[in-house]
């Protein structure tokens, strides 16, 4: 049945600069390349997609890139047809005209609400849950990415880890500890810079453009680069997503945020520190602890404690310097764990493959 579902439409509203569109773009191009689906990606802010894929022209209402048709999602958009599978990314709400056309289609499209990634157990219970539309003959299915076979899995291109390992074999060995820094403007960057200034070994910290660089600039002044003790704090330009992946592969420690870079840091198989998107009443810390419970399962206390310590310090702003020192002291062991975690996750089916299988069963 899967072969009948050739036409997929993915709708994305850009909320968090690049996170939402990054996920949708990775999914769209993987469905096209690996599963031979005809994918249309509807985006309300093409200017946010262009830095991730420089071949995209944000002025065009319709274009094709890497086998994906990209359409500008504008008010009162004309709907020529609907997909056999329709993905509403992160509850973005489909256009009314598109919904009406879905209701008239025969057979009805498989309608997916792709949810945000969470390690919380309740998401597995809700994964795949059906929600009938209140007035139209349509059913939406809630689809949760996750870290177990009971979830929708994680985005991962075919052969990604093998490609990573091959790329690393041809890289020149380095003497400096290399760090990538991609964070929100609420991150305790000052504490990290203080910790780097006390480093006993040479450090290169690659600071991503945008909010991370602005946060560093507010503290150090000017536009960089800066020398802080033995640490070189080096601004880097915004990177297309494949180049960013290789930066994560290359660095010894990666500071990441949100969802897309969080997942890519895990595929890098290197120690990482995640800044989760902040929510009211510290609800995000519950989500953080849910991931840490999975990620640290089976580790001895010093190792598990060092990982939890730097994650909490980075997300609360308290005790960054001592947490960083403890984390660095156990970096070889943490690196070993990060590599094993990536291998275990890669043994599970990926999100795109799971979606294709799930939708085929709904025909």
- Same domain, yes or no, for 133 and 213? no
Determine the number of helices (DSSP H) and then strands (DSSP E) in the chain: 14, 14
Say which of 20, 124, 178, 260 is annotated catalytic. Answer: 20
In terms of residues, how long is the chain? 363
- Same domain, yes or no, for 56 and 196? no
Active site residue 259: yes
Q: What is the pLDDT of residue 281?
A: 80
* DSSP code, position 116: P
Residue 2 tokens read as: 């899967």
What's the CATH code of the domain at 335? 3.40.50.2000
Q: What is the pLDDT of residue 292?
A: 98
Say which of 84, 115, 259, 350 is annotated catalytic. Answer: 259
Q: What is the pLDDT of residue 198?
A: 94
Q: What is the pLDDT of residue 77?
A: 82
- Same domain, yes or no, for 142 and 281? no
Q: What is the pLDDT of residue 2?
A: 42
- Same domain, yes or no, for 23 and 148? yes
Can you give the pLDDT of all 363 residues of the chain as single tens digits? 344 799 999 999 998 667 899 999 999 999 999 999 999 999 999 999 999 999 999 999 999 999 999 999 998 888 999 999 999 999 999 999 999 999 999 999 999 999 999 999 999 999 999 999 999 999 999 999 999 999 999 999 999 999 999 999 999 988 999 999 999 999 999 999 999 999 999 999 999 999 999 999 999 999 999 999 999 999 999 999 999 999 999 999 999 999 999 999 999 999 999 999 888 888 899 999 999 999 999 999 999 999 999 999 999 999 999 999 999 999 999 999 999 999 999 999 999 999 999 999 987
Distance CA 163, CA 152 (A): 23
- Same domain, yes or no, for 33 and 82? yes
Q: What is the pLDDT of residue 1?
A: 38
- Same domain, yes or no, for 296 and 314? yes
For residues 41 and 234, is the Cβ–Cβ distance under 8 A? no
Segments forming the whole domain that contains residue 183: 160-346
Active site residue 350: no
- Same domain, yes or no, for 132 and 186? no
Residue 110 tokens read as: 């498989």
Is the C-alpha dihedral spanning 44, 50, 55, 60 positive or negative?
positive
- Same domain, yes or no, for 353 and 341? no
- Same domain, yes or no, for 264 and 304? yes
Distance CA 114, CA 260 (A): 14
**Other beta carbons less than 10 A from residue 268's beta carbon:** 26
**Other beta carbons less than 10 A from residue 88's beta carbon:** 21
Q: State the total domains in the chain.
A: 2
- Same domain, yes or no, for 187 and 142? no
Q: What is the pLDDT of residue 3?
A: 47
- Same domain, yes or no, for 130 and 215? no
Which are the contacts of 86, defined by CB distance < 8 A and separation ≥ 6? 8, 9, 11, 94, 98, 102, 109, 110, 111, 112
What's the CATH code of the domain at 93? 3.40.50
- Same domain, yes or no, for 327 and 180? yes
253-257 and 226-228 strand pairing: unpaired
């Amino acid at each position: 049945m899967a072969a009948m579902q050739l036409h997929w439409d993915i709708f994305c509203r850009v909320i968090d600069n690049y996170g939402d569109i990054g996920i949708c773009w990775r999914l769209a191009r993987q469905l096209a390349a690996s599963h031979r689906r005809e994918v249309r990606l509807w985006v309300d802010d093409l200017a946010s997609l262009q830095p991730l894929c420089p071949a995209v022209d944000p002025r065009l209402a319709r274009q094709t890139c890497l086998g994906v048709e990209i359409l500008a999602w504008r008010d009162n958009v004309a709907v020529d047809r609907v997909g056999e599978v329709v993905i509403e990314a992160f509850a973005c709400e489909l256009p009314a005209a598109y919904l009406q056309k879905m209701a008239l289609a025969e057979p009805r499209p498989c309608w997916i609400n792709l949810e945000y990634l969470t390690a919380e157990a309740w998401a597995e219970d809700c994964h795949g849950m059906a929600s009938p539309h209140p007035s139209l003959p349509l059913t939406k299915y809630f689809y949760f990415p996750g870290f177990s076979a009971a979830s929708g899995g994680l985005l991962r291109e075919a052969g990604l880890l093998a490609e990573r390992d091959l790329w690393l074999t041809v890289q020149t060995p380095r003497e400096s500890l290399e760090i990538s820094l991609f964070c929100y403007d609420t991150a305790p960057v000052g504490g990290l810079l203080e910790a780097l200034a006390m480093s006993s070994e040479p450090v290169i910290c690659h600071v991503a453009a945008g909010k991370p660089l602005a946060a560093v600039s507010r503290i150090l002044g000017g536009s960089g680069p800066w020398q802080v003790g033995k640490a070189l704090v080096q601004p880097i330009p915004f990177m297309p997503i494949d180049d960013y992946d290789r930066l994560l592969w290359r660095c010894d420690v990666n500071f990441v945020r949100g969802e897309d870079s969080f997942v890519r840091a895990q595929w890098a198989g290197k120690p990482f520190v995640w800044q989760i998107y902040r929510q009211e009443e510290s609800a995000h810390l519950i989500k953080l602890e849910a991931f840490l419970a999975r990620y640290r399962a089976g580790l001895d206390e010093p190792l598990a404690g060092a990982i939890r310590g730097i994650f909490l310090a980075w997300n609360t702003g308290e005790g960054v310097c001592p947490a960083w020192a403890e984390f660095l002291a156990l970096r070889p062991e943490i690196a070993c764990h990060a590599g094993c975690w990536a291998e275990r996750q890669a043994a599970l089916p990926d999100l795109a493959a799971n979606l294709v299988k799930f939708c085929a069963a709904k025909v």
